[in-house]
């Protein structure tokens, strides 16, 4: 097992190299660069632009730029943001924290709602409640996050119960720490609902399908035949086995976290990494885009690795060697 993990981690290196090369080429393909806007500005002289171009290393050939970037990235220095004039590491650091915070909340909410509902649906297959839930789940997985986000913002304005977008209130800095926590939590409610409908619906369907599969097994019939209470049959025999495939999904969704919440952050004005990526892409802030892509990819790949490990841990039939 340890050997397997080490091998997978080693495979990560060429993978990351490939991803960074692809990202670098894609970004360089896009027309114009960060200085394009400055060049059009009559106040900024041509010398200044040339000077900045040299400072940022934009005058060097592509592969030199890439190798320099790579050499720095290995030492966890992701360069300098053109637009914000701070090291990318600073910028990404705070945004990443916000994204992780939001995602943990989304995740917890989606699982807390989806698992019980999935079990409920499977136990009463094809009942009115189950059919209703199934239909709601269909609508849930089919609703674009930006639509549910906008809709909730509209509701928030009409009712005045929740803040409209953002992560903190204007007076955030003056609040005591309990107030700060409550303020952020208050801002988090809408995104969690918007995403919970989406993320939770898919999970619920998985849980329901998985439990239905298990309930058809012989050992469940045996458990019932020997007179166990239905509650014990479900909770001890069925659900524990049905949850197995969901553990894998847990790992995979760990990987998909950052990518999944990006558009939600954009709509809700949450200062996370997805929003940063959008802004950076618009401004051609090369190194910020690179860093965001690398971080997103690393989480995805590591999440998949965790999924595989969890699967092996939870299911003794699976062996990697």
CA 28 to centroid of chain Cα atoms: 26
d(CA 240, CA 237): 6
Per CB under 8 A, 175 contacts another protein: no
How far apart, in Å, are the Cα atoms of 164 and each of 91, 122, 156, 191? Answer: 24, 37, 6, 10
Inter-residue contact 4 to 320 (CB < 8 Å):
yes
> Can residue 289 be called a binding residue for another protein (CB under 8 A)?
yes
Q: Give me the 98-137 binding string for another protein, x by CB under 8 A, dash otherwise.
A: -------------------------------------x--
Would you count residue 44 as binding another protein (CB under 8 A)? no
Q: How far from the centroid of its chain's Cα atoms is residue 23's Cα?
A: 19
Q: Which residue, 164 or 175, is less far from another protein as judged by CB? A: 164
Q: Does 14 bind another protein (CB under 8 A)?
A: yes
The CB-of-145 to another protein minimum distance in angstroms stands at 8
Which residue in the set 71, 90, 138, 320 belongs to the binding site for another protein (CB under 8 A)? 138
> Does residue 15 touch another protein according to CB under 8 A?
yes
19 is an interface residue for another protein by CB under 8 A: yes
Contact between 172 and 183 (Cβ < 8 Å): yes
**If binding means CB under 8 A, how many residues of this protein chain bind another protein?**
50
Which among 44, 16, 27 has a CA at the least distance from the CA of 290?
A: 27
Q: Does 79 bind another protein (CB under 8 A)?
A: no
Task: Name the residue nearer to another protein (CB basis): 4 or 146.
Answer: 146
Q: Between residues 55 and 154, which has the closer beta carbon with respect to another protein?
A: 154
Nearest alpha-carbon partner for 297 in 28, 68, 73: 73
> Does 318 interact with another protein (rule: CB under 8 A)?
no
Say whether residue 164 binds another protein (CB under 8 A).
Answer: yes
Helices and strands of the chain, counted as H and E runs: 14, 0
> CA torsion sign, 126 to 131 to 137 to 142?
positive
Structure tokens at 261: 């919440």
254 binds another protein (CB under 8 A): no
With CB under 8 A as the contact rule, the residue among 79, 199, 200, 296 that binds another protein is 296
**Cα 184 from Cα 257, distance rounded (Å):** 20
Radius of gyration in angstroms for the set of CA atoms belonging to the chain, rounded to a whole number? 24
For residues 239 and 295, which CB has a smaller minimum distance to another protein in the complex? Answer: 295
**DSSP codes, 192-218:** HHHHHHHHHHHHHHHHHHHHHHHHTSH
Q: Is 65 in the site for another protein (CB under 8 A)?
A: no
146 in contact with another protein (CB under 8 A): yes
Tell me which residues touch another protein (CB under 8 A): 14-15, 18-19, 22-23, 26-27, 29-31, 135, 138-139, 141-147, 150-151, 153-154, 157-158, 164-165, 256, 258-260, 262-263, 266-267, 274, 277-278, 281-282, 284, 289, 292-293, 296-297, 300-301
């Amino acid at each position: 097992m340890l050997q397997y993990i080490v091998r997978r981690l080693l495979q990560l290196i060429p993978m990351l190299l490939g991803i960074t090369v692809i990202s670098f080429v894609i970004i360089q393909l896009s027309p114009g660069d960060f200085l394009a806007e400055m060049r059009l500005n009559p106040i900024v002289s041509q010398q200044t632009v040339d000077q900045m171009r040299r400072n940022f290393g934009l005058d060097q050939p592509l592969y030199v730029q890439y190798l320099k970037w790579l050499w720095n990235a290995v030492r966890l220095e992701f360069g300098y943001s053109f637009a914000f004039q701070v090291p990318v590491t600073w910028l990404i650091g705070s945004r990443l924290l916000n994204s992780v915070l939001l995602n943990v909340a989304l995740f917890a909410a989606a699982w807390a709602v989806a698992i019980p509902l999935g079990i409920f649906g499977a136990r009463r297959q094809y009942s009115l409640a189950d059919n209703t839930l199934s239909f709601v789940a269909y609508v849930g997985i089919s609703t674009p996050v930006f639509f549910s986000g906008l809709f909730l913002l509209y509701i928030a304005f009409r009712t005045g119960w929740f803040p409209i977008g953002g992560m903190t209130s204007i007076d955030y800095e003056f609040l005591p720490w309990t107030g700060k926590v409550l303020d952020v939590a208050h801002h988090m409610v809408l995104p969690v609902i918007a995403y919970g409908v989406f993320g939770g619906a898919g999970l619920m369907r998985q849980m329901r399908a998985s439990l239905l599969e298990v309930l058809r097994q012989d050992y469940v019939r045996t458990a019932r035949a020997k007179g166990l209470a239905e509650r014990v049959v479900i909770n001890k025999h069925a659900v524990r086995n049905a949850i197995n495939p969901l553990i894998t999904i847990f790992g995979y969704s760990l990987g998909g976290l950052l990518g999944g919440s990006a558009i939600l952050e954009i709509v809700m004005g949450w200062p996370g990494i997805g929003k940063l990526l959008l802004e950076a892409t618009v401004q051609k802030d090369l190194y910020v885009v690179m860093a965001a892509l690398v971080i997103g990819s690393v989480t995805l790949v590591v999440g998949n690795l965790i999924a595989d490990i969890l699967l092996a841990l939870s299911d003794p039939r699976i062996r990697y060697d």
